[in-house]
């Protein structure tokens, strides 16, 4: 069960977006594993993709199609990543787009493909083709929940969130869903995220908004330090609310960006809370750095340390592991004297050693919690950054050892 999250909340429909989920048996039996999202004509779409050099075939094709035209459909499958499949994989991705386009009456370039699952296996396109007509027949604005469940792989729960805000005095809706549990360190993790709004947003403003939101959310999480071949985050604006078109100069644009950021942050944190085998949700906050880069360097060194992560799983206040990680993070000319380490409200290290008054009982009290703040004060500047991570449990090893079986 995810840390601090039990089930998918009610997700509000977004005017101009219809969804449908069906069982195509791409890999799984007895569950939906294929999603079609239909976008109203005139919708604008922004996207951010993985930076992994071995990006999957659907990532390549989706980028190509976005460069040509505005999408009308998103086609998403779980169970098979269609990554590491070379030219045949590209042919499979394009064939699936063509199959949907023929049934939907649009051009193949207006379909964006997305896949998640096992790497290195051919996509069974014929299984997808066999259920596309029925999937299109089931399109509805109210199918966000079924779609969020269908895109899951090792996730234990579906992940989604809805927010509303005022634009031109009218209420507009933002609804998003995401999947991800392991192979998580997005560089735009395996993660996919889809967010839609009925606001009208100019193309450049939409892309800028998404880029900023992703940078402070999906690019600030890590479960295991592995960046997937398939990561994608899509933001769609249908304009169906009837509000004026937001650009960067519009008075309501900052509020819109804030709302998008809140949706992305919530989805990103849900991925960490549902990290494979996770029993702890950990916030690593680094303050007093010279710049953002070195703050993140320290945060990720701590977050990726197997010794720190296993201590968190054991609820062991072995703060020496955190100290050692900070020390090996590679900061130039780090003066350890002003460095402070905190567990929640408990200072554990100050002036190069154990903080006066610290007791093992204080550390144990914090480490027994399901949600923990590790705060690192570098004392060499004004920059700060926050990263969210999880612990490393026996279940993480078991899940990934058995993933393809």
Phi (first) and psi of residue 275, to 5 degrees:
-55, 145
Within 13 Å, how many C-alpha atoms sit on residue 315's CB side?
11
Question: Which of these, 105, 152, 159, 160, lies nearest to 132 by C-alpha position?
Answer: 105
Full-model pTM: 0.95
User: Is residue 342 within 8 Å of 348, Cβ to Cβ?
Assistant: yes
Q: Which residues pair with 37 in a beta bridge?
A: 19, 74
Q: Which residues pair with 395 in a beta bridge?
A: none
Question: Which of these, 166, 144, 151, lies nearest to 38 by C-alpha position?
Answer: 144
Helix then strand then coil, % of the chain, to nearest 5: 35, 25, 40
What ranges in 108-230 are assigned the alpha helix state H? 125-137, 144-150, 203-215
Q: Give the pLDDT score at 203.
A: 97
Whose tokens are 């071995």? That residue is: 54
Q: Give the pLDDT score at 185.
A: 87
Question: Which of these, 258, 167, 270, 178, lies nearest to 213 by C-alpha position?
Answer: 258
Q: What is the separation of C-alpha 246 from the centre of its chain, rounded to a whole number of angstroms? A: 25
Structure tokens at 18: 């219809």
Q: Give the pLDDT score at 316.
A: 97
Say how far apart CA 234 and CA 71 lie, in whole Å.
Answer: 11
Phi (first) and psi of residue 306, to 5 degrees:
-60, -35
Say how far apart CA 314 and CA 306 lie, in whole Å.
Answer: 12
Catalytic residues: 190
Domains of the chain in start order, with CATH, are: 17-273 (3.60.70.12), 281-401 (3.10.20.340)
Tens-of-pLDDT digits for all 405 residues of the chain?
A: 799 998 999 999 999 999 999 999 999 999 999 999 999 999 999 999 998 899 999 999 999 999 999 999 999 999 999 999 999 999 999 999 999 999 999 999 999 999 999 999 999 999 999 999 999 999 999 999 999 999 999 999 999 999 999 999 999 999 999 999 988 887 764 689 999 999 999 999 999 999 999 999 999 999 988 888 889 999 999 999 999 999 999 999 999 999 999 999 999 999 999 988 899 999 999 999 999 999 999 999 999 999 999 999 999 999 999 999 999 999 999 999 999 999 999 999 999 999 999 999 999 999 999 999 999 999 999 999 999 999 999 988 888 887 765
Q: Which residues pair with 118 in a beta bridge?
A: 80
Q: Give the pLDDT score at 405.
A: 53
User: Is residue 28 within 8 Å of 116, Cβ to Cβ?
Assistant: no
DSSP, residue by residue, 74-116? EEEEEEE---S-HHHHHHHHHHHHHHHHHHHTS-GGGEEEEEE
DSSP, residue by residue, 252-265? THHHHHHHHHHHHH
Say how far apart CA 6 and CA 22 lie, in whole Å.
Answer: 24
Phi (first) and psi of residue 379, to 5 degrees:
65, 35
Sign of CA dihedral 107, 203, 160, 226: positive
């Amino acid at each position: 069960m995810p840390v601090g999250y039990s089930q998918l909340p009610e997700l509000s429909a977004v005017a101009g977006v219809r969804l449908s989920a069906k069982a195509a048996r791409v890999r799984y039996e007895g569950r939906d594993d294929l999603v079609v999202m239909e976008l109203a004509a005139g919708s604008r779409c922004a996207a951010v993709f993985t930076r992994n050099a071995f990006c999957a075939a659907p990532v390549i094709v989706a980028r190509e199609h976005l460069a040509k035209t505005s999408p009308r459909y998103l086609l998403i499958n779980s169970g098979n990543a269609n990554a590491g499949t070379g030219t045949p994989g590209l042919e499979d991705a394009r064939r699936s787009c063509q199959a949907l386009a023929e049934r939907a009456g649009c051009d193949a370039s207006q379909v964006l493909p997305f896949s998640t699952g096992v790497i290195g296996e051919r996509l069974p396109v014929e299984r997808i083709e066999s259920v596309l007509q029925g999937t299109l027949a089931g399109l509805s604005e109210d199918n966000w929940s079924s779609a969020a469940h269908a895109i899951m792989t090792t996730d234990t729960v579906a992940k989604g969130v809805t927010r509303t805000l005022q634009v031109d005095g009218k209420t507009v809706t933002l609804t998003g869903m995401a999947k991800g549990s392991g192979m998580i360190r997005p560089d735009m993790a395996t993660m996919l995220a889809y967010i839609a709004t009925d606001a009208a947003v100019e193309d450049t403003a939409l892309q800028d908004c998404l880029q900023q939101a992703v940078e402070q959310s999906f690019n600030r999480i890590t479960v295991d330090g592995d960046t997937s071949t398939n990561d994608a985050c899509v933001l769609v604006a249908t304009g169906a609310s009837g509000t004026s078109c937001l650009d960067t100069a519009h008075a309501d644009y900052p509020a819109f960006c804030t709302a998008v950021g809140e949706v992305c942050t919530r989805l990103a944190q849900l991925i960490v809370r549902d990290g494979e085998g996770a029993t702890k949700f950990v916030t690593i906050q680094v303050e007093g750095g010279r710049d953002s880069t070195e703050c993140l360097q320290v945060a990720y060194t701590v977050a990726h340390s197997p010794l720190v992560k296993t201590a968190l799983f054991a609820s062991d206040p072995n703060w020496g592991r955190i100290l050692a990680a900070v020390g090996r993070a590679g900061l130039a000319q780090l003066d350890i004297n002003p460095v402070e380490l905190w567990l929640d409200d408990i200072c554990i290290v100050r002036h190069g050693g154990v903080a006066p008054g610290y007791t093992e009982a204080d550390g144990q009290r914090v480490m027994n919690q399901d949600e923990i703040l590790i705060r690192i004060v570098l004392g060499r500047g004004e920059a700060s950054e926050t990263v969210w991570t999880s612990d490393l449990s026996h279940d993480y090893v078991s899940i990934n050892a058995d993933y393809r079986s």
